[in-house]
Structure 1
Amino acid sequence: MIASSHSADQKVYEIANLTNEVKELRSAFVDKRGKLMQLKKESFVEAEMKEKDIGISLNPPTKIIVKSSKPVK
């Protein structure tokens, strides 16, 4: 009976520790996702490229269409 009680207590502590770890990992994930969103912003990329003397292209990108000689299945 006592051993069972100790085992249950140990499992409760382990669950509490794992729950805290999950919360910390989720927080880190949200933080990194926010930083990624910031890095993906066009204004941020433009500022970083200006530091490297790379400017924005004045010509819009063009779509290249390649026609295949093989039929698509």
Structure 2
Amino acid sequence: MKSNINNILKGKFLVDEDSVKNWRMIIFLSVLALVMIASSHKADQKVYEIARLKEQVAELRSESVDARVNLWKLKTNSSVARSLKGRGIKPADIPPRKIKVRSIKSR
């Protein structure tokens, strides 16, 4: 038991006659570790990108709501009348009437 641990610590398993199998396994595990590290970094990048885009969506949504409220305020009758008062245009005192058009049948 003690000699096995000493052999592992000294690295004899890397220079023995059967070391080719050990080197292949070590290289395979190293490549596998690199692939795992790279994929976890990609996943982290995507998580950060998603968080950034969610913040951007929330900001754009609030800007959209603000613009909609401002448009609604500009479209009210009182604000239109106030802006046209400087030009001398005022609201009509007589309400509009419907015009009915009767179709003429051809003979």
2:70 matched to which residue of 1?
35
Larger Cα Rg: Structure 1 or Structure 2?
2
Aligned residues: 70
CA RMSD of aligned residues (A): 1.5
- Normalising by structure 1, report the TM-score: 0.86
Richer in helix (by share): 2
Q: Which of these residues, 87, 93, 96, is aligned with residue 58 of structure 1?
A: 93
Structure number with higher relative contact order (C-alpha < 8 Å, ≥ 6 residues apart):
1
Q: Which blocks of at least 5 consecutive residues in structure 2 are unaligned?
A: 1-35
Percentage of pairs with the same residue: 54
1:45 matched to which residue of 2?
80
Q: Which blocks of at least 5 consecutive residues in structure 1 are unaligned?
A: none
State the alpha-carbon separation in 2 of the partners of residues 65 and 17 from structure 1: 58
- Normalising by structure 2, report the TM-score: 0.60
